[in-house]
Amino acid sequence: MRVFTAALATETNTFSPIAVDRRAFEASLYARPGEHPATPTLCTAPITVGREVCARQGWTLIEGSASWADPAGLVARTTYEELRDEILAQLQAAMPVDAVVLGLHGAMVAQGYDDPEGDLLSRIRTIVGPGVLVCAELDPHSHLTAKRVAAANFLVAFKEFPHTDFVDRARDLWSIAVRALKGEITPVMSVFDCRMIDVFPTSKQPMRGFVDQLYALERAEPGVLSLSVIHGFMAGDVPEMGTKIIAITNDNAAKGAALAEKLGRELFAMRGTFMVAQVDERAAVDAAIAAPRGPVVIADVWDNPGGGTAGDATVILAELIARGISDVAVGTIWDPIAVQICMAAGEGAEIPLRFGAKSAPHTGSPIDQLVRVNRLVRDAEMRFGESYAPFGDAAWISFAGIDVILNSTRAQSFDPSLFSVMGIDPKSRKILLIKSTNHFYDSFSRIASEIIYCAAGKPYPNTPATTPYRKARRDIWPMVENPWA
Ligand SMILES: [Zn+2]
C-alpha cells in the first residue's frame, strides 16, 4: 500500500486584527516532506502516527508538507494557495496512492476562501478519483461544511477540550484507514446538524459525561467506528458555522444517522449550560480582594491568543489600577513595541511607558505608567505539559505594587512558569491575572487559592446572538430561540 500524508492547519478568528502570512506558518511549524519532527504539534499527529503505522504494516508512507500557524486572523490568499498547491503537487507526484490521510484543523479562513479545507479536500478528491480513501483529523473548533463531507470518506475530531487527545484520535483515524484498506470495513460518515453554536469544555459537566458516553458507544455499539462532536467555532464568520455530530459506521449510514441525531438532540437540550459562569471586571476584582489568601487567579477568558485574539487587552488591569490594588502579577500582555523600548532602556531603568490595548477595539486603553524594568529575557518560554511554549522576548516591569510581563510573541497563559522564568514567584502574589479560556486550568489550579473567570471588554465575539456576523447562518441557537420551529 502507498499512503500520502500532509498537514495544513490554523484556526482563523475572522474578527482578529492579526493577519496571517507565510511567515506566521514558518514561525509556528513549516516542515517540508520528510522534515517533520518526531513529535507532533496539535494538527500534525496523522504524520507521526502514520510513520509508526506504515512501518508496522510494511506500507509506503509518502510525506507531503506540514504547516501550522498559531490561531489568529485571516490567512493571506497567496499564502493559502501556495501551501495548498505545494501539497497538491506532492500528491500528484506520489500517484498512484491507495489513501490520503491528512492533518487539518478545520477552521481556517483565507482571503477569498470561506472553506479552504473543503477546497483542499475536493481538489485532492479530483486528483485521486472516487476509489481512493481520503480521510482527515480535525480540531472540534472547526466548520463541517458539506463540501468537506462530500470530498472525504471520513473525518475524526479530537474529543477532548483542552485537546489532550490529538495523538489518540490520530490513532483512531489510522486504525479505521488500515482496516478499510485491508477490506475489513467500509467506513461511511453520517452527519447531524445540531443547529446551535456553543463552547464545550470537556473538563467539567455536562460535556465530560457526554464525551464519556461517546467513548462507551464506540466500544460497545456494533458497527460504530467513531463518533465526533464538531463544536464549531463562533469566531469564524463563515456560512456553515455551527455544532455538528459525526458518526462513522461500518457501511450503515442509516444507523449512523439515527445515532448522530440522537446524540445531537441530547447536546442541543443542554445548550447554554456548558461553560463556567463568568463575571465582569468589577465583580472579578471584588472577589479577588475578598479572598482570604492568594494567589487568586483571574482568567481574562476572552482575550485568549489561543483563540486568535491579540492578547493585549487592559480592561481588568485598568480596573485593578483604578482601585489601587497591589500585590498583583500580570502574565502576559502582548506588546512587542513596549518590549523593544524596555530592551533599549535596559534592566534597572525607570521609564515612562505606554503599553497594551493597541491592536483591536473593545480591549480597553493603553496604560501609561512610570515603570521600572526589572528583568529582560530573550526568547522566553513557559512550560506546556511535557513541552514548552515560546512567548518571545519579554520584559518584567513594575509600578505601584503591580508586576506586568510584556511579551512579543502572542501566547496564552498555559502555565505559572511564565512568571518564574521572568523571576517572579507566582505563589508569592495575592492576585495573578492571566489570559486563557480553558487550557490554563490544569496547571494554575495546582497553585491557585481560587479561580475567577472574567469576561471583560469585547476582544472576542463570544455572544453569537449579538455578534455582527456577515456570513454566518442565523437559523441556529442562540441567534434564534428555537431553530427547529
Ligand atoms: Zn480547538
C-alpha of residue 199 to centroid of ligand 1, in Å: 10
C-alpha of residue 360 to centroid of ligand 1, in Å: 22
- The pocket of ion ligand 1, defined by CB under 5 A, consists of 139, 141
Q: Looking at this protein, which amino acid is placed at residue 413? A: S
C-alpha of residue 370 to centroid of ligand 1, in Å: 39
For residue range 250-264, list pLDDT tens digits in order.
Answer: 999 999 999 999 999
Q: How far is CA 237 from CA 9, 50, 263, 356, 471, in A?
A: 17, 33, 26, 26, 6
Q: Looking at this protein, which amino acid is placed at residue 231? A: H
pLDDT band for position 361 (cuts 50, 70, 90): very high
What does the pLDDT average to over 35-44?
94
What does the pLDDT average to over 175-191?
98
pLDDT at 388 over 90: no
Q: Is 291 helix (H, G, I), strand (E, B) or coil?
A: coil
C-alpha of residue 427 to centroid of ligand 1, in Å: 29
- The percent helix, strand, coil of the chain (3-state, each to 5) is 30, 30, 40
pLDDT of amino acid 58: 98
C-alpha of residue 93 to centroid of ligand 1, in Å: 32
Backbone angles phi, psi at 455, to 5 degrees: -100, 110
C-alpha of residue 164 to centroid of ligand 1, in Å: 10
What does the pLDDT average to over 300-313?
95
C-alpha of residue 192 to centroid of ligand 1, in Å: 20
C-alpha of residue 139 to centroid of ligand 1, in Å: 5
C-alpha of residue 21 to centroid of ligand 1, in Å: 21
C-alpha of residue 339 to centroid of ligand 1, in Å: 29
pLDDT of amino acid 219: 98
C-alpha of residue 141 to centroid of ligand 1, in Å: 4
Distance CA 113, CA 122 (A): 13
Distance CA 277, CA 455 (A): 9
Q: Which of 84, 143, 154 is nearest to 119 (CA)?
A: 84
Q: Above pLDDT 90, what percent of the chain?
A: 96
C-alpha of residue 403 to centroid of ligand 1, in Å: 31
pLDDT band for position 83 (cuts 50, 70, 90): very high
pLDDT at 337 over 80: yes
pLDDT band for position 162 (cuts 50, 70, 90): confident
For residue range 229-280, list pLDDT tens digits in order.
Answer: 999 999 999 999 999 999 999 999 999 999 999 999 999 999 999 998 899 9
C-alpha of residue 472 to centroid of ligand 1, in Å: 19
C-alpha of residue 163 to centroid of ligand 1, in Å: 7
pLDDT of amino acid 387: 78
Q: Is the pTM of this model over 0.75?
A: yes
pLDDT of amino acid 384: 85
Distance CA 478, CA 485 (A): 14
What does the pLDDT average to over 39-57?
96
C-alpha of residue 110 to centroid of ligand 1, in Å: 18
Per the prediction, the chain carries an average pLDDT of 97
Do residues 133 and 181 make contact, with C-beta atoms less than 8 angstroms apart? yes
Beta strands in 27-181 (DSSP E): 29-31, 60-72, 99-104, 133-138, 154-157
Do residues 244 and 192 make contact, with C-beta atoms less than 8 angstroms apart? yes
C-alpha of residue 107 to centroid of ligand 1, in Å: 9
pLDDT band for position 61 (cuts 50, 70, 90): very high
For residue range 219-228, list pLDDT tens digits in order.
Answer: 999 999 999 9
pLDDT of amino acid 245: 98
pLDDT at 411 over 80: yes
pLDDT band for position 442 (cuts 50, 70, 90): confident
Tell which wins on pLDDT, 277 or 126: 126
C-alpha of residue 133 to centroid of ligand 1, in Å: 25
What does the pLDDT average to over 354-380?
97
Distance CA 241, CA 25 (A): 24
Q: Which of 149, 292, 310, 293 is nearest to 228 (CA)?
A: 149
pLDDT band for position 462 (cuts 50, 70, 90): very high
pLDDT of amino acid 418: 98
C-alpha of residue 217 to centroid of ligand 1, in Å: 23
C-alpha of residue 140 to centroid of ligand 1, in Å: 6
pLDDT at 386 over 80: no
